[in-house]
Amino acid sequence: MTFIVHGPIVALFRADCVADCVKQKIRRILVVTDPYHSRRASIFFNRRFAGSGIHVVTVNSVDYRHLLPPTEQWWYDEVTLRWIITETVGIAAFLLSLLSDLGSQMGHPGLHPG
């Protein structure tokens, strides 16, 4: 069975969603997202379903809507530049959270204020 997500993907963020997908014998998930979000979505979903036996494929819609594509001078467009910076920060935050999780698993509590 293949699960195709269309629209908001909030259900896949629930803590029990991996178990639900395994229970329903879902073997593949296809995630279609906008081009600038596809990298972070791919990292998130592949990490989320790692070890579950569920194959995740992430593709971009090739629909840039109001954003400039990478082939154009996107760095001159404020809206596109802001979107790219937001996605880059999002990827960095996600990767840092993985490092924090790894540190916690290894017995290093990480940095805590105070």
E runs forming strands in the chain: 2-5, 28-33, 55-60
Give pTM, 2 decimals. 0.64
pLDDT at 77: 93
Mean per-residue pLDDT over the chain, rounded: 78
Q: Is pLDDT larger for residue 63 or for residue 8?
A: 63
Residue 30, SS3 per DSSP? strand
Least confident of 10-19, 21-30, 57-66, 89-98: 10-19
- pLDDT category of residue 14 using cuts at 50, 70 and 90: low
Quick check: 15 pLDDT over 70? no
CA distance 39 to 43: 6
- pLDDT tens-digit profile of 58-100? 888 888 888 888 889 989 999 999 988 988 898 888 788 877 7
CA distance 42 to 44: 5
CA distance 88 to 63: 19
